[in-house]
Amino acid sequence: MASLILENILEARKIGGVVTMGVQNIDFFEHIPMKGSFLENMSNFIIFPTTQSEVLKSLEEKLKLTTTELRFLSNTSKKDRKILLKTKANGSQILDVNLERLGPYLKVFNSDSINVNHMKEIIKEHPQSWRDLYLKEEF
């Protein structure tokens, strides 16, 4: 199965495609054949802060994290909503992924069926002003 996934990833890249994958822990790759090929073909890593020393050590070894990157991961609270974007081409960047500043626009990303149905109802009843009504409304 792992070889089929890897083959599909490589084929997608040949035609200019982008493949996005997510794993809870970098050690996931220890349990699959051809782990080196998977990691070699990944160009970007999004890493969330952690204080777990085993995880930090594994990230340091497998992704060649610097002391500064490790310090960020171990000293940053998850509540800060910041991540480390590690790229093979350009080093790393710290990204603030806190979406609270979107204010009322944040609810646009809510795809819960109740929310979607409610929005459809507002659109039907107020086709010209539904956007303002939806954003101002609290439910």
Q: What is the pLDDT of residues 95-118, one digit of tens each?
A: 999 999 999 899 889 999 999 999
What is the rounded distance in angstroms from the CA atom of residue 124 to the CA atom of residue 80? Answer: 39
Q: What is the pLDDT of residues 8-45, one digit of tens each?
A: 877 887 888 887 878 788 888 888 777 777 778 788 99
Domain boundaries, the chain: 1-42, 46-98, 100-136
Half-sphere exposure at residue 51, Cβ-oriented, CA atoms within 13 angstroms: 4
pTM more than 0.75:
no
pLDDT at 112: 93
What is the rounded distance in angstroms from the CA atom of residue 96 to the CA atom of residue 29? Answer: 27
**Joined tokens for residue 91:** 């080093």
- Count CB-CB contacts under 10 A for residue 88: 12
